Each structure stands twice: as C-alpha cells, then as structure tokens.
C-alpha cells in the first residue's frame, strides 16, 4: 500500500528549493573554539589591548633597553650629578651621577622577574594544592585548608625579616618570601572551583571509564578552572611588583648598587625637593606597569566570563 501511495504522487508536485530558502540554513558565522572567542572579545576591549601592548613593550625594554645606552647601572659621573633629562641622559642623573634611564630599565628586570615568579608559584603550588584539597574533600580538605589559614595569618613582612636574619638581605629573600605566601590565594580559589565541578556529569563519566585521580585533576577539573586561574595570576603580578617595590623602599629588598624600582624611589626621597625627576621616573614606571596589568586583568575577566558570550 505504501508503494501504491508513492506511485500516485505526480512529479509536478516536486520543485527545486529556492535560493532564498537555501541561504536561511547556511552558517553565517564560522565555528570557533572557546579560546578563539576569548581572544576575539579581548581584542574588542581597548583598555585590555592597551595594557597588553604596554606589558609587551616593557618586557622588550627590560631585555633590550640597556643595550640602547653606553652606560651601566653602576657607572658614576661625579661631575654630572643631578642633571635633568637630556640627549645624553634621557631620564637625567641621580645624586651620584648615575644614568636614571639605565637604572630604571635594570629595575624593570628585577620587578618583572618578581612578578612573573609569583605567577609561576601560583600556577604550580597554588593550583595543585587547591585542586587536591577540593577533590578529596573531607578530612584531607580540612587539614590542608588549616595549613593555608596558618600561612595566610602571618604577614609577609615577618617572612622577609626572618629570611633576612637567616639568609641576609637581597633578592633571594624576597623570592623565598613570595614563594611561601603567594600561592595561598590561588589555592583557595581553585579549591572552590573544584568543589563545584567534581560532582558534574563529565567527572562522573571519567570515573566510570576508569580514569585515575591524577588524570581527572589534570585533564578535566583544572582545565575547567582556567578562567579564574588566569584572572588571579594576572591580578597577582602587579601585587607582587608593588610588594617588592615596597620592601625595597623600606630597605628590606635588594641592596645597592642593584637597582629595583623600590630602591630607586628610596634613594630619591632625600633629594626630592632638589631633584624631583629622580623620583618621578621610577614612580611612573611602577604606576604604568600596575595600570597595564590591571587593565589586562579586567579585560581577561570579561573575556573569560561565559555569561558575557554572544
């Protein structure tokens, strides 16, 4: 009976589909991945793009900038003390006749190294510690979080003073102090994310397929936390840079003749009324760097938020 009905249908009832109806089913926007969409939306944010360009420019200056000047950060010209900006000395000289431009660039190396060290610590200790704590839960989570609370309750300056007594002042003490404390915030954030994700269907499916704890953490849970992780890392870099500048300013950071931005600001304070340019340039470098990272962090927070996707 089905064959009879098909045979009764005449050919004139069939017609080609018009072009207008064909185009209605076409995919106008090409399919893109999540990270391609993040990069596209990040580029639409002018402040975030400006911050990214400034950070890249500062990194290039820190690496190659000292090659633009024939002077070193420790060269002294006693007959050229306190000079203002000129063609010979772009940022002028300090009270000992040292080129401020070269010293600011060398300070950028130290300050940016401190900031990126804090990000590496966040991405290793903080992410793994928080992921393990949130995944196992129960008594393990309780013990690990009490250890975090213990580290979080002790001020950073006490770590630095203790390390200065043991190791002496210098950049090593700052690196170790940051390593002791800067992973704590990241651990709390990752723990909260893992606690909310570990009961999702994709984790239960991975367990049913026989995936072990290491694979579930590294291949399923932590990649799904990358949005908050990247935002926290970006926000913690300027915080670490400012911490190093503050410690060097009060004499607990790098020692002379090394040049960090905090050390340059500390050395400029006694002569601020006579030579204000000595303080202006390192302070400007700190301000621009912190603004650039904050702009980039705000842009990443908006770009990584799935609720803002269109």
Backbone phi, then psi, for 93, in 5-degree steps? -125, 160
Cα–Cα distance for residue pair 83/282, rounded to 1 Å = 16
Q: Which residues, other chains included, contact 259 with Cβ-Cβ below 8 Å and sequence gap of 6+? A: 73, 103, 104, 106, 107, 110
Cα 287 vs. chain centroid, distance in angstroms?
A: 16
Tell me: pLDDT of 117 over 60: yes
Tens of pLDDT, residue by residue over 120-144, are 887 888 888 888 888 888 888 899 8
Higher pLDDT, 30 or 242: 242
Cα–Cα distance for residue pair 242/299, rounded to 1 Å = 21
pLDDT > 70 in the chain, percent: 87
Cβ(302)–Cβ(308) below 8 Å: yes
Domains of the chain: 45-71+83-308 (1.10.3720.10)
Cα separation of the two ends of the chain:
51
Tens of pLDDT, residue by residue over 167-183, are 777 777 777 777 777 78
Instruction: Write down how long the chain is.
Output: 310
Instruction: Tell me how crowded residue 265 is: count the other CB atoms within 10 A of its CB.
Output: 23
């Amino acid at each position: 009976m089905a064959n009879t009905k098909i045979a009764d249908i005449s050919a004139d009832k069939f017609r080609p589909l018009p072009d207008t109806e064909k185009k209605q089913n076409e995919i106008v926007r090409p399919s893109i991945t999540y990270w391609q969409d993040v990069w596209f939306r990040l580029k639409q944010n002018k402040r975030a793009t400006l911050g990214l360009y400034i950070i890249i420019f500062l990194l290039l200056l820190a690496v190659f900038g000292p090659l633009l000047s024939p002077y070193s950060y420790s060269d002294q010209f006693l007959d050229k003390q306190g000079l203002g900006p000129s063609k010979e000395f772009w940022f002028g000289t300090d009270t000992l006749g040292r080129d401020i431009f070269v010293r600011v660039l060398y300070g950028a190396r130290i300050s940016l190294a401190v900031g990126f060290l804090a990000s590496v610590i966040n991405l290793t200790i903080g992410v793994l510690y928080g992921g393990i704590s949130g995944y196992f839960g129960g008594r393990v989570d309780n013990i690990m979080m009490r250890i975090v609370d213990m580290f979080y309750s002790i001020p950073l300056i006490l770590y630095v003073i203790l390390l200065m007594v043991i190791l002496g002042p210098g950049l090593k003490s700052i690196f170790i102090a940051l390593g002791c404390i800067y992973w704590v915030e990241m651990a709390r954030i990752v723990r909260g994310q893992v606690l909310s994700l570990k009961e999702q269907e994709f984790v239960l499916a991975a367990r049913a397929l026989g995936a072990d704890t290491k694979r579930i953490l590294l291949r399923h849970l932590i990649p799904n936390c990358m949005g908050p992780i990247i935002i926290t890392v970006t926000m913690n870099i300027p915080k670490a840079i400012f911490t190093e500048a503050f410690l060097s300013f009060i004499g607990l950071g790098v020692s002379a003749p090394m040049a960090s931005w905090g050390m340059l600001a500390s050395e400029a304070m006694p002569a601020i009324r006579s030579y204000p340019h000595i303080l202006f340039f390192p302070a400007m470098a700190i301000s621009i760097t912190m603004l650039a990272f904050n702009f980039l962090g705000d842009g990443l927070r908006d770009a990584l938020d799935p609720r803002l996707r269109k």
